[in-house]
Amino acid sequence: MTAHDRADASSPAAGTLAAPAAAAPPSLMVVGHGTRDADGTEEFWTLAEHVREAAGDLSVGFGFIELAEPLVDAGIDELVARGSRSVVSVPLVLLAAGHLKNDGPAALTRARSRHPGVHFHMGRDLGIEPVVLEIVEERARAALGDVAEDTAVVLVGRGSSDPDATSDLYKVARLLSDNRGLGLVEPAFAGVAKPTVAEALERCRRLGATRIAVVPFFLFTGILVPRIYAQADEFAAQHPDLAVVAAAHLGPDRRLARLVIERYREALHGDVRMNCDLCTYRVRLPGYEDKVGTPISLTPHGDGPARGSRRSRRATRAPLVLPALRPAAPVEPGPTILSMQDLRYAYPDGTAALEGVNLDVRAGERVAILGPNGAGKTTLALAACGAIEELTGTVSVAGVGLSNRTRNEIRRRAGIVFQDTDDQLFMPTVEEDVAFGPANQGLEGEALRARVDEALQAVRIHELATRAPHSLSAGERRRAAIAGVLACRPDVLILDEPTAALDPAARRELLDVLRSLKLTTLLVTHDLPYALELCPRAVVLDNGQVVADGPTREVLADEGFMRAHRLELPAGFNPLVA
Ligand SMILES: Nc1ncnc2c1ncn2[C@@H]1O[C@H](COP(=O)(O)OP(=O)(O)OP(=O)(O)O)[C@@H](O)[C@H]1O
């Protein structure tokens, strides 16, 4: 009993009146490493918000070891000023190395001497935990698409002189490979420790990989994540035979916020395992199955993987940006296949949508049509496929000029895929939908069947032929709609916001499909990283006029221009690095 407790117990009121109010639970102090990078700091605060939500009524404070405000001492002082008498400090880092092992406890020691009446507990890093593995696996799969014999993952950690942190990254790589089926997974480090990113990529190459995802094992972006992509990019440039794709770092995922709360509880109950989480797989733990959702595996290798996956409850939120290390390569210019000259159009209510647009597209080109809301992009796409009747100016596709007489032919030659697939898919099955256009053109029997097969193969959904469109995923529906247009063998494919509602994996699969089509393509989009990945050329519209037309990378990298036309790159996306 402390002197304070004794004083309370001896007071006349003790135990005789109403029960004393329950003491507030200990506060949670979340400690980040800190970065000078504004995007990294913003991601930290997004995750901090998720932690606050997951913490419910707990009092929560935040602080950094260095480089960002508030510093951890100030964060703790603030919690104490708010009335906390007990504080649990949890480092918001993946693998604790020197800083969090030394500076974290040192901050608590300082706090104890500043606040002698307050209890402090120390939690541990997020560590090697099923949910962390799950998120990294998702990032890798989203970048890789299918895992195959010739795919590999390079998992890149920060790098540290602390051998524990370094070997922990090896463990993560091993678990991703063995337990999560990612095949070849090579660890690498952004600095201090070896192997480097280039060395790990080279190892994958020598082991036969031709498609390699580079996954930064980082909670937040910062200085190092773009540097990792740049190192991978440099390697990719020297090996044109390889596809090196960038995966996202972990980012502010809500599952990590819940893990922080788990770390808080562990620390509070004195149940901090400082080292081997893998032991949780090997001993029978009460409640394991409820908590993890799969039976425990009592041997590490014997009775199947114990993944600890909570897929049914997951709320994935990958960072928005999945930068490509391979921007689309310029195409050999062919003859002009789509030509639009001095296009002008006002909607019946008088709204001017196109005000003198000139655009020539050569055969085989993929051109992104960019611009802020209301710029005229969709109107231009509709004009290109002959869908606007009161248009002034000229449109020609493959040498056929648009007129009332040729309108149907133009519609076939310039096929548009609308943003909303419900506008396009209306037959009972996918194959009937895909057959609709060519059947209208008079194709029937075996020829029609072959055409449908060809289109379904091109978008890689042949196995979905007899499914009802409404039963498909968003990505599958998008590909079914594209197949319907391809079945008419257009000269130009026009896509209006094709990535809307697609998750990262579906986005990547669609990208692979679109790249493989080798078809002249107009891509109307707000998804600027996607435009960079698919289209070597970008045309920017604003107020119904073309305000830029050039290499996509250069257009996106012109910050002043982008600002002037209300175009914003997603946080952390650098077109010069991508
Ligand atoms: N049916 C319509 N009736 C009247 N005005 C319209 C109609 N459709 C579009 N507009 C107007 O025409 C202009 C160009 O619209 P459009 O949809 O082509 O732009 P956008 O660049 O595709 O925009 P967003 O990025 O929002 O899709 C806008 O001012 C818009 O409000």
Hunting for tokens 């005000």 — which residue is that? 355
**Three-class SS string for 317-342?**
CCCCCCCCCCCCCCCCCCCEEEEEEE
Q: Which residues contact 183 (CB under 8 A, 6 or more apart)?
A: 147, 148, 149, 151, 152, 153, 177
Strand residues in 190-310 grouped as ranges (E):
211-216, 243-246
C-alpha span between 296 and 285 (Å, rounded): 8
The tokens for 514 are: 């679109």
Find tokens 């032929």 and name the residue.
Answer: 465
Distance (Å, whole) CA 525 – CA 548: 15
- Separation of CA 372 and ligand 1 centre (Å): 11
H or E segment and range at residue 19: none
Mutation to probe ligand 1, out of 345, 379, 380, 388 (largest number of atoms < 8 A from CB): 379
What's 472-501 look like in SS3?
A: CCHHHHHHHHHHHHHCCCCCEEEEECCCCC
pLDDT at 568: 86
Contact 552, 561 (CB under 8 A): no
pLDDT (tens digit per residue) in 232-277: 989 999 998 888 999 999 999 899 999 999 899 888 876 555 444 4
Q: How far is the CA of 158 from the centre of ligand 1 (A)?
A: 46
Residue for token digits 């789509």? 338
Helix (H/G/I), strand (E/B), else coil: 280: helix
List average pLDDT for each run of 10 residues in the chain, which is 578 residues long: 33 34 79 84 89 90 87 93 93 82 83 92 88 91 86 92 85 88 93 91 93 94 89 90 90 91 84 46 56 53 33 32 49 83 94 96 95 95 94 95 94 93 86 92 92 95 92 93 96 95 86 92 94 94 95 89 88 68
Cβ–ligand 1 contact at 419 (below 6 Å): no
Domain boundaries, the chain: 130-246, 336-564
Atom of ligand 1 nearest to the CA of 380: 18
Residue 539 contacts residue 353 (beta carbons within 8 Å): no
Let me know how many helices (H) and strands (E) the chain has, helices first.
20, 18
Is the CB–ligand 1 distance for residue 145 below 6 Å?
Answer: no
Closest-lying ligand 1 atom to the alpha carbon of residue 541: 21
Q: Give the model's pLDDT for residue 97.
A: 78
- Does the Cβ of 379 fall within 6 Å of ligand 1? yes
Most ligand 1 atoms within 8 A of CB, residue of 378, 495, 522 to mutate? 378
CATH of domain 130-246: 3.40.50.1400
DSSP code of residue 394: E
Counting atoms of ligand 1 from 1, which one is nearest the CA of 524?
Answer: 22
Query: Could you tell me if the ipTM is greater than 0.85?
Result: yes
Same fold, 130-246 and 336-564: yes
Ligand 1 atom closest to the CA of 349, numbered from 1: 4
Q: Tell the CATH topology of 336-564.
A: Rossmann fold (3.40.50)
Please work out, in degrees rounded to the nearest 5, the angle formed at the alpha carbon of residue 560 by the alpha carbons of 558 and 561: 65
Q: Does 337 sit in the ligand 1 pocket, CB within 6 Å?
A: no
Joined together, the tokens standing for residue 494 give 């026009």
Q: Which residue, judged by its Cα, is nearest atom 12 of ligand 1?
A: 353
CA neighbor of 35 nearest in space, from 260, 317, 224: 224
Report the pLDDT value the prediction gives residue 320, as an integer from 0 to 100. Answer: 36
CA dist., res. 519 & res. 514, Å (int): 8
- Give the number of the atom of ligand 1 that is nearest the alpha carbon of residue 371: 21
**CA 124/CA 273 separation, integer angstroms:** 8
| Per-residue tokens: 338 | 């789509």
465 in Cβ contact with 430 (< 8 Å):
yes
**Rounded alpha-carbon distances, angstroms, from residue 475 to 8, 420, 459, 480:** 65, 12, 11, 9
Q: What pLDDT shows up at residue 395?
A: 97
- Give the distance (Å) from ligand 1 centre to CA of residue 542: 11
Answer whether 297 contacts ligand 1 (Cβ < 6 A).
no
Ligand 1 center from residue 367 Cα (angstroms): 20
The DSSP letter of residue 99 is I
Say how many Å lie between the CA of residue 375 and the centre of ligand 1: 7
CA of 376, closest atom in ligand 1: 18
Distance CA 562, CA 509 (A): 28
**Phi, psi (rounded to 5 degrees) for 279:** -60, -25
Q: What distance in angstroms lies between residue 383's CA and the mean position of ligand 1's atoms?
A: 13
Q: Where are the alpha helices (DSSP H) in 62-162?
A: 72-81, 98, 104-114, 130-144
Q: Is 350 in the pocket of ligand 1 (CB under 6 A)?
A: no
In what helix (H) or strand (E) does residue 377 lie, and over which residues does it extend?
Answer: helix 377-384
- Report whether 31 contacts 267 (CB < 8 A): no
User: DSSP letter at 293?
Assistant: S
Task: Output the residue whose Cα is nearest ligand 1's atom 17.
Answer: 378
Q: Which of the listed residues 349, 369, 373 should we mutate to test ligand 1's pocket, taking the one with most ligand atoms within 8 A of CB?
A: 373
Ligand 1 pocket, residue 567 CB under 6 Å: no
Task: Identify residue 526 by its one-letter amino acid code.
Answer: H
Contact 430, 456 (CB under 8 A): yes
Q: Which of 270, 224, 93, 226 is nearest to 168 (CA)?
A: 93
